[in-house]
Structure 1
Amino acid sequence: MVTNRKKFQGVLNILSFNRHFYVIGLLVLAIALTVILLLKLPTIIVWITISAFVYGLVTPLLVSAYVYDFSGYYSFKWLQPHINDNASVKKIVNINAGFDETSFILQTKFPTSEIKVFDFYNKKQHTEPAIVRARNVSLTYPNTKQITTNKIPLKDHSTDLVFLLSAAHEIRNNKEKETFLKECKRICKPEGKIIMVEHLRDIPNFLAFSIGFTHFFSRKTWKNAFKNAGFSKIEEVKFTPFMSVFNCSN
């Protein structure tokens, strides 16, 4: 069981999984500087170009370090306001998209609970290089089961908590999101809830990730998806300016 994270593990993961973006970025910077020098453009253009690329390449790493290494995300203290009594939670489902850094930690937070882990990664649909690399280094929680987003192999009303931790945005199609969330609702007990944590397609994440913020979805998109899936109570609380915790129940 591994629950202790290495120093700067979060930002190192981001750098490792998305290294193709950094290689491409540095190549484009080199080409841009070559063109500027050949055209003998003013020095200020050189510095503006360098500054823009440094901002675009370094800022995501700084924000990722803040969110994943220094904010307490993996301590799960942010979860306390959403759960009245850990001991009353008997059955937990944790669903990931092929990269699981939370199931072992959840087991320590809920030692008397039964935890089932599902992975909805589909190599035909989820083709981003970052996901493929993440799967190669991810620890697998015992008895993790591969599923599709339209079928969770559990009985109706059997689960107290469903966790979707930085995973659901990998479902790119809105209809597929709704189908998946309907399945999550189906397996929840009447008093059960879904806890989802996601970056949003908003101003803070645009400033952090520039064009990369389009990989995430807006607050409106998520709330519509939950509403269309049948959830009547949808609460959002900011966890750092860059992430949101959605607490959704019947």
Structure 2
Amino acid sequence: MEAKRRPFQGVLNILSFNRHFYVYGLLSLGLLMLAIRLLPLTPPVMTTATWILLAAYTYGLVMPLLVSAYVYDFSGYYHFDWLQKEVEEPNAVGRIVNINAGFDETSFILQRHFPKAEVTVFDFYNAKQHTEPAIVRARKVTQEFPDTARIATNAIPLGEEAADLVFLLSAAHEIRSNEEKARLLEECRRICKPGGKVIMVEHLRDFPNFLAFTIGFTHFFSRDTWKKAFTDAGFADMKETKFTPFMSVFNCTA
């Protein structure tokens, strides 16, 4: 059964899963502040350096949380109204495949939006390949959809033309290898019925996300990287729409 989202659940998840970054950030700020105090600097220089450091660290620590709150708690992302623009005939959807990286907040919502469809959920998390602490922590609190199956990214255990819609919602960036991305998308195309869609939502490695996450934006991939991955997977067209300035919805027809 789907659990009701708590207030600020999105930003609290980001803070909890990535708490090591905040610990390291505060420790490094403390060390730099100490170094400034110990260096033989004149008072005006010391004061200026202190304020610059405080401003830079405050921005780097607080801005990702503000943007995450906007995207995941206030934009309506989990209401899925944005999906109406991507799926023209929702009543014609017979089977949905939702693929995650070990943290699933969307399968129950998809089932609610497509009550007549069969929802199949796959988890491509691989402990040897996907080693970031945030993923490990997220897996401990995820609400797993019934009969979720573990898969390899190059082998989705379904026959050809089995699904009307395949979703990759804020998950595919966990695959760091560009070749592996293409292989997963190739499998997604294989299991899609003719005219079926692969719908992927991702932050991008672009200027808005740099402003939002500073150096953390390197965890995501550029539009060109995703375009090449879709092309290598055999898709002829990749349509992108923006959901907030910080997230992109990619819609590809098989």
**Aligned-pair CA distance for 1:100:** 0.1
TM-score (ref. length: structure 2): 0.97
**Aligned-pair CA distance for 1:39:** 1.4
TM-score (ref. length: structure 1): 0.99
1:4 match:
4
1:185 aligns with 2:184: no
Identity of aligned residues (%): 68
1:49 match:
53
SS of the equivalent of 1:95 reads: strand
1:22 match:
22
Match for residue 81 of structure 2 among 69, 77, 80: 77
Unaligned runs of 5+ in 1: none
Match for residue 249 of structure 2 among 240, 245, 250: 245
- Structure 1 runs of 4+ aligned residues shifted over 6 Å read none
Encode CA deviations 1:56-82: one digit per residue, 9 max, x unaligned: 000000000000000010000011011
1:208 aligns with 2:212: yes
- Separation (CA, whole Å) in 1 of partners of 2:40 and 2:133: 37
2:108 match:
104
1:61 match:
65
User: Could you tell me whether the CA contact under 8 Å between 1:239 and 1:245 is conserved in 2?
Assistant: yes
**Aligned-pair CA distance for 1:144:** 0.1
User: Could you tell me whether the CA contact under 8 Å between 1:162 and 1:194 is conserved in 2?
Assistant: yes
Q: What amino acid does structure 2 have at the position aligned with 1:125?
A: Q
1:137 match:
141
Encode CA deviations 1:1-33: one digit per residue, 9 max, x unaligned: 125210000000000000000000000000000
User: Could you tell me whether the CA contact under 8 Å between 1:166 and 1:197 is conserved in 2?
Assistant: yes
SS of the equivalent of 2:238 reads: strand
Q: What amino acid does structure 2 have at the position aligned with 1:217?
A: F
Encode CA deviations 1:172-202: one digit per residue, 9 max, x unaligned: 0011111111000000001101000000000
- Separation (CA, whole Å) in 1 of partners of 2:77 and 2:241: 14
Q: How many residues align?
A: 250
- Separation (CA, whole Å) in 1 of partners of 2:17 and 2:115: 31
SS of the equivalent of 2:194 reads: strand
- Separation (CA, whole Å) in 1 of partners of 2:197 and 2:237: 9
**Aligned-pair CA distance for 1:86:** 1.2
Encode CA deviations 1:97-121: one digit per residue, 9 max, x unaligned: 0000000111100000000000000
- Separation (CA, whole Å) in 2 of partners of 1:26 and 1:77: 38
User: Could you tell me whether the CA contact under 8 Å between 1:3 and 1:105 is conserved in 2?
Assistant: no
**Aligned-pair CA distance for 1:232:** 1.2
**Aligned-pair CA distance for 1:233:** 2.0
Encode CA deviations 1:143-180: one digit per residue, 9 max, x unaligned: 00000000000010110000000000011001111111
RMSD: 0.7
1:86 match:
90
Unaligned runs of 5+ in 2: none
